[in-house]
Amino acid sequence: MSAPAAGSPAHVAPERRAARLRELAAVFLRLGLTAFGGPAAHIAMMEDEAVVRRHWLTPQRFLDLLGAANLLPGPSSSEMAIYLGYVRAGWLGLIVGGVCFVVPAALLVTALAWMYTRFGALPQTAGVLYGIRPVVVAIIVQAVWRLGRAGVKDVASVVVGVAASALSLAGLAPVAVLLVSGITIAVARGMRAVGTGSVPALLPISPVVAAGAIGTPVTLPSVFLVFLKIGALVFGSGYVLLAFLRADLVERLHWLTEHQLLDAVAVGQVTPGPVFTTATFIGYLLAGWTGAAVATLAIFLPAFLLVAASGPFVPRLRRSRLVAMLLDGVTVGALALMAVVTWQLSRVAVVDLATAALLVASAILLLRFRLSSTWLIVAGAGLGMILSIVRAH
């Protein structure tokens, strides 16, 4: 086994490691409070902070971690926060990065759940979303452009990226798009035979977890098992999460109504941070404050365990010729998925001339002047509220 590289967390003096942990906490707490727009936008903001502004890692290593995160079940943006924490400050950084990204959103969602149960409705957020959505699309466009310059290396990458986008738009599952992209790139670069045994075993084995809590009443252990299963099995976007939540909580266990589930998903969409904090809202509805804490812990726990198990091996996987080509293909597939998300979100975000102008202005400020995405999010929210008030009067 090779020794850790100089400059890696293992070689950092204790005082420098403490400074790195404080920096990690500050960055991911801020992202947890301002990262609107879903996984693609979160990853774009992380790339801006970790690669462009702070130079924690190279674009290629960021793409390798993104490829690994996309092959794992669970919330990909939270897994990227955990990976980046590990790269920057080792095992403690792994915990700090993930916890600081998740906790602000979870606390905000818990507060909204309290308001929901007390008043029976959600606060009005239309104005905030009106201004934030175009900014989020611009942030994703910026990330796709920058990461694409590092990840698209040849004509085969372009062809596979276009095909992966078409497959995604046709409805193919995200994990299938990633695997097809990885294998296709490997074959296109001269591999005569790619056996399934050569693919890194990054998928969890969780049949025991999947069988838990069937037909049980609402108790803290049953809530934990249900959300642990979901965290260990869900691939892809928040829409896939919605399918799992509906199948388990509405149809099988009858813990929620359709209306409650839609309200829970709405909270996950309109709050910053990971969409999986939808579980926090549902946990509060089911069992109060402790239910919120248990559901949050359960749905994010597999992400921490999977990243901890795979994180040390990602650089070694890159040194294998076969796995490196597979990772390159998975990266192209991930970029294609981000491009598709950009297109889909833009159709929702750009509803009039004002939102179109906001998108274009945000893209110029990001790509030309490298303005911080955090400030653009805040400005977009403020403009959206002002415009909604003006229109109301």
What tens digit of pLDDT does each residue of 151-199 get? Answer: 787 888 999 999 999 998 887 877 688 789 889 988 887 643 434 444 3
Residue 19 lies in a domain: yes
The per-residue pLDDT for range 277-307, each reduced to its tens digit, is 989 999 999 999 999 999 999 999 999 998 9
Domain that holds residue 91: 9-123+148-201+308-346
214-219-220-224 Cα dihedral, nearest 10 degrees: 10
- As a whole number of angstroms, the distance between CA 196 and CA 206 comes to 20
User: For residue 87, what pLDDT is reported?
Assistant: 92
Q: Which two tokens stand for residue 180?
A: 């097809």
Structural domains of the chain, count: 1
Residue 299 lies in a domain: no
Q: Which two tokens stand for residue 221?
A: 């252990």
Residue 115 lies in a domain: yes
The CA-to-CA distance between both ends of the chain, in Å, stands at: 68
pTM summary value: 0.67
The per-residue pLDDT for range 44-63, each reduced to its tens digit, is 899 999 999 999 999 989 98
Residue pair 216/256 in contact by the 8 Å Cβ criterion: no
Which one, of 274, 300, 259, 212, lies nearest residue 33 by Cα? 274
Q: What are phi and psi of 238, to 5 degrees?
A: -65, -25
The per-residue pLDDT for range 225-242, each reduced to its tens digit, is 999 988 887 765 555 576
- As a whole number of angstroms, the distance between CA 137 and CA 205 comes to 35
User: For residue 3, what pLDDT is reported?
Assistant: 42
Assess whether pLDDT exceeds 50 at residue 93.
yes
Residue 75 falls in which region: left (phi positive, over 0), alpha (psi -120 to 50) or beta: beta
- Between the alpha carbon of residue 190 and those of residues 156, 184, 193, 325, the distances in Å are 11, 10, 9, 10
